[in-house]
Structure 1
Amino acid sequence: MLDYSEKALDHFFNPRNAGVLEAANAVGSVGSLEGGDAVRLMLRIDPDSRVIAEARFQAFGGGDAIAACSALTVLVTGQSVDEARRLTAGQIDAALGGLPGDRKPAADLAQAALQAALAQFLGITPEAPKPDPKPASVTLLAPRHESKPKILREVPLSPEDEATIIAQVIDSVRPTLRADGGDVTLVAVEGAKVRVHLTGNCSGCQLAALTLGGLQKRLADALGRPIRVIPEQKPLVSIAGAR
């Protein structure tokens, strides 16, 4: 496992305020299930005092998002709307004792869900991004001899290339997992599904979710597309190229 603080592990193993808030009057949803990280934050705000009386969340993805949202709900409960609007991702990260470097975006995701919920409560419509300014026109002189235009196209990775990348990513995390008494091995690659076998400390229910969430993000970044990592019992490697 990565170097998570005791605070981060506590919020993951014992998440505060997880679940649906039926009485919510402010809801913010960010991320996507396809990308492997989706967060839904629900707030019950007193309309007179504008104080957050209750906060609950649902997180789909890695354990980092669960821990970040858990810490967020603790921080904002009892705060006024104005105070909550000033809450930063850095403060959420600090409440977790500092997430590992490549896991800090989980705090940004939680903070974005908070801002989305508060914007809904305040009736604020997010501004659409402004288009980039039109580039200045440039007159080009035609070449003396015409040449056929070159067609550039993105060449997709073959199943064999993807399998190699997946194996390399898994091998890169194994030393860290072994140092914590666990391990992970590749079982099968089936298009967007990567099946792995967890052993040792990594095979526990909660620790497995942390390990799988982190591995899923690394694989998605390496392949440039959504990937779902699924734990299996028997480490028998196979490759299926169909997507």
Structure 2
Amino acid sequence: MFDYSDKVKEYFFKPRNAGVLEDANAVGEAGSLARGDALKLMLRINPLSEMIEEARFLSHGGGSMIACSSALTELVRGKSVDEASRLTSADIAEFLDGLPPEKMHCSESGEKALAAAIAAFRGETPVAPERRPAEPALVQIAVPPKPRRAPPPAAAAMAARQNGAAPGMTLRELIAKNNPLAAVEEEETGPVEPVSEDDASVISKIITEMRPIFQRDKGDIELLEIKGRQVFVRLSGTCASCLMASQTLAGVQKRIMETIGRPFLLIPSTARA
């Protein structure tokens, strides 16, 4: 696993300004669902003063993407359009007390989404930001993976409380709590409607295509079975005990629902009774 700063963890577990901005007059997007990281930045800009009065985001991806998106909205609020246009990916990384080199693409997506939003406000064609070498002082070096050991019960309970877990909360409930952007459906009651072969094939294909996102952090995801609108998966490797995997898991669920056009609930095997 990567060595994330406390601020990255804070902005992932408690993201600022997440959600839709209904009266946005400047919207920019970056990344792609196929790659696994996507960001939609929404701004409300005063047309007379050109001051950014409000900023919100929708994001799909891992913990670093959520943290960078959240940090970006904090950085641009209250700034003029000209001031915001000078923000770079390095500024986002510095605000978060550094990012591992392997995760700098998340802050770069933030810079691109901001440039696209400003271009939309000005009626211009977005220009891809010039890639700048990250300043060593702003970037933390990823530490080699170490064998993971189960924390003592007291430490595990303390970590769960810090991440917003109430006593007795399941992993599925924690995923929903820490991910304000995922449309998590309640479990169905009554007879379970069998899933069609076409839907099962689509779900299996999506999970297979997104496995590299989990494997990138030394983890993995495997489809176990589908019952109605419930998709049971097994997380292994570092993802089995890492709360950062919850956001990516919600991203898989979001992609399934967007592709098929109906709600499905992705349930880790550890959340099964």
TM-score range, shorter chain: 0.5 to 0.7
Secondary structure of the structure 2 residue equivalent to 1:104: helix
Secondary structure of the structure 1 residue equivalent to 2:148: helix
In the alignment, residue 12 of structure 1 is paired with which amino acid?
Answer: F
In the alignment, residue 269 of structure 2 is paired with which amino acid?
Answer: Q
In the alignment, residue 233 of structure 1 is paired with which amino acid?
Answer: S
1:233 offset after TM fit, Å? 1.7
For normalisation by structure 2, the TM-score amounts to 0.54
Output the CA distance in 1 between the equivalents of 2:34 and 2:112.
18
Among 180, 187, 203, the residue aligned to 2:241 = 203
In the alignment, residue 16 of structure 2 is paired with which amino acid?
Answer: R
8 Å CA contact 1:180–1:201 kept in 2: the answer is: no
**Corresponding residue of 2:101:** 101
**Corresponding residue of 1:51:** 51
**Corresponding residue of 1:21:** 21
Residue 211 to residue 37, structure 1, CA distance change in 2 (3 Å): closer
**Corresponding residue of 1:5:** 5
In the alignment, residue 106 of structure 1 is paired with which amino acid?
Answer: C
In the alignment, residue 75 of structure 1 is paired with which amino acid?
Answer: L
What pairs with 1:35-114 in structure 2 (closer than 5 Å)?
35-114=35-114
Residue 191 to residue 82, structure 1, CA distance change in 2 (3 Å): closer
Secondary structure of the structure 1 residue equivalent to 2:244: helix
Partner deviation per Cα, 1:5-44 (whole Å, 9 max, x = no partner): 0011000011000000001000001111111011000000
Output the CA distance in 2 between the equivalents of 1:109 and 1:57.
12
**Corresponding residue of 1:146:** none
Residue 127 to residue 60, structure 1, CA distance change in 2 (3 Å): closer
Q: Which has the larger radius of gyration?
A: 1
**Corresponding residue of 2:136:** none
Secondary structure of the structure 1 residue equivalent to 2:27: strand
8 Å CA contact 2:115–2:126 kept in 1: the answer is: no
1:178 aligns with 2:148: yes
Aligned length: 169
Gaps of 5+ in 1: 129-172, 183-187, 217-229, 235-243
8 Å CA contact 1:36–1:61 kept in 2: the answer is: yes
In the alignment, residue 178 of structure 1 is paired with which amino acid?
Answer: R
For normalisation by structure 1, the TM-score amounts to 0.60
Runs (4+) of structure 1 exceeding 2 A deviation are 173-177, 179-182, 188-194, 196-204, 206-213
Gaps of 5+ in 2: 129-142, 157-203, 212-220, 223-233, 253-265
Output the CA distance in 2 between the equivalents of 1:177 and 1:232.
22
1:202 offset after TM fit, Å? 5.1
In the alignment, residue 114 of structure 2 is paired with which amino acid?
Answer: L
1:122 aligns with 2:122: yes
8 Å CA contact 1:85–1:115 kept in 2: the answer is: yes
Output the CA distance in 2 between the equivalents of 1:84 and 1:174.
36
Residue 208 to residue 43, structure 1, CA distance change in 2 (3 Å): same
What pairs with 1:214-225 in structure 2 (closer than 5 Å)?
none
Output the CA distance in 1 between the equivalents of 2:123 and 2:248.
39
